[in-house]
Amino acid sequence: QDDCILFEQLILEGAQAGLSWLTILKKRPHYRKAFAQFVPQKVARFKPKKIDELLKNKGLVRHRGKIESAVRNAQVFNDIQKEFGSFSRWLDTLIKTIDDRRTSLNLPSVLSKKISRELKRRGMKFVGPTIIHAYLQAIGVYQDHLPECWKFRQKKVSSRSPR
């Protein structure tokens, strides 16, 4: 998958912590504009003055920790891209070591815990195992609908990891 899409989803999942997903979906256009269309290289260069501007933006969740973490997470995201060629490739390496997609109803999953630990070790914030599990659902790694749910038949987990 495109790294900008992966970055957008990561930032939105962090912003959603403690809030309803609907709240974030309604604010998504504001986030795209405020966060430079989620180009991580641009967000990583945001300065304190820009963060202060974002805290005044009524279209965003105005939580200093979440906004500052988006900038810090962009910097780490860029470091991972430089090290692995892309964030997607880095995710692939972790998914290949722990493919627990068939048992992901055990929350948080082994994979989400591993990715969370690695992202935190690298300096990211708002990337706990539950947020990362939701992230893996959103980018198509997990399909957690139960067989009796109508969404179960609609969603198929790709046999391939995200690209």
In the structure encoding, which two tokens stand for residue 149, read together? 């749910």
- 94, 139 contact by CB (below 8 A): no
Average pLDDT value over all residues in the chain: 88
Residue 160 in any domain: the answer is no
Enter the pTM of the model.
0.84
- What tokens does 53 get? 């501007």
Residue 83 forms part of a structural domain: yes
| Domain count within the chain | 1
Mean pLDDT of 50-75: 98
Q: Tell me the CA end-to-end span of the chain in Å, nearest whole number.
A: 4
Q: Is residue 162 part of a domain?
A: no
What pLDDT does residue 150 have?
Answer: 64
CA distances from 109 to 55, 65, 115, 127 (A): 33, 25, 10, 14
Least-confidence region, from 24-28, 40-44, 74-78, 111-115: 111-115
Residue 161 lies in a domain: no
- Write the pLDDT tens digit of every residue in 7-37: 999 999 999 999 999 999 999 999 999 999 9
Q: Determine, yes or no, domain membership for 35.
A: yes
Q: What is the pLDDT of residue 96?
A: 82
Query: In this structure, is residue 14 part of a structural domain?
Result: yes
Q: Does a structural domain hold residue 92?
A: yes
pLDDT (mean) for 62-87: 98
The answer as to whether 163 is a domain residue is no
Give pLDDT tens digits for 39-50.
999 999 999 999
CATH number at residue 143: 1.10.340.30
What domain range includes position 131?
A: 3-154
